[in-house]
Structure 1
Amino acid sequence: MGANAEWASRSRQMLDELGIIMINLIGSPGAGKTTLLERTIERLCGRLRVAVLEGDIETTCDAERLNALGIPVSQLLTGGGCHLEAKMIHRALCDLPLSGLDMVIVENVGNLVCPAEFDIGELAKIAVLSVTEGEDKPLKYPLLFHEARAVVITKTDLLPHIPYHLPLCLDNLKRVNGAIPVFQVSAVTGTGLEAWIEWLKGLSA
């Protein structure tokens, strides 16, 4: 952890000096992180200049999807590791056109546990939780929801079709982190995305 903390500090100092914010999206595989990123970047176009660091164990599928949006994207493959480390992030940042950016969004490896334990130099961890995962995730994996600056609940368009009790999930989130803002969004209908975008813009203000 000592070396990781040093690399995280280097990245944070570099980004602070350039006036760039970095956020770290963390969620399970299939939670909708990449789709949320696509809709987020589309709506930030013309508002903030964004780059993405895309973390995966293998394959470049998600990075290829994001490349189509015409923004700088760097693929980080862990080759089996369950999270991104600060040294990997720092090296990737140094390869980005930082002078032309306002925000870097990191999509961490799909996992609710390991990524929450590691500082990568970000301003904020964002927990991504889909309605298909069950209401108990905040209680089962409390560290992430305690450390996160916000929670995005995805796939809300599915709520009429699945046995998911949203008020119970919200209550569980409050039990872990009573002050955390929660954004309920649908990438399909666009519901809730503008509130999420405005919150993101506020981070860079």
Structure 2
Amino acid sequence: MEPLTPLVRRVRPAAGDPEGALVLLHGRGADEHDLFPLLDLLDPERRLVGITPGAPLSLPPGGRHWYRLAGIPTPDPATFHASIPALDALLAELPVPFERVVLGGFSQGAVMSWALTLGPGRPRPAAVIALSGFLPRVEGWPLDPSRLGGVPVAIAHGSLDPVIPVAFGREARDVLETGGAEVSWSETPVPHTVDPGWIPALRAVVAGALPPTTPT
């Protein structure tokens, strides 16, 4: 298997004592800089500490990867399983408990967000944001949608996506709704990208999942 490198990360500090954390995982071939601008868009008041990790694999055609491609929706099991403990270690270092973490990502990052919240024995986050991804089918990592029962979940996908067809986003929406999650769904006519039109709905999920803890 390809060697894994330690996770690098960019950190956007909270304005004061962090009331939670917002962790965004990039897509295939990108890096820790790619989703960093989304932190301020989704948490403009900087109530949360923001983290954008860089994936541990360097694979063709370049950039960082969370797993080796083996088709959709089937990540390569060896590299997929190897990335999970690396992400767990990063999440364990956060200054807030996991129940106050909004975990999300784009494309491969969305896939890993599902893996970390629906897989065996996973703890419950504050919310999940899945952009242009799919629910992974990986041997040895069954998904249990009921783990996110009552948890806010934002799913967004472009109807013109040629990389990961929108049917996979719709499937995730339907599966999570059946499991009892509080699903916000956005579908717009864009390709494999983050549509700025999704931001207000995503921001509302973040704010609603982690209401201010400062006494009024």
State the TM-score, normalizing by the size of structure 2.
0.46
Structure scoring higher RCO (CA < 8 A, sep ≥ 6) equals 1
Which is richer in helix? 1
State the TM-score, normalizing by the size of structure 1.
0.48
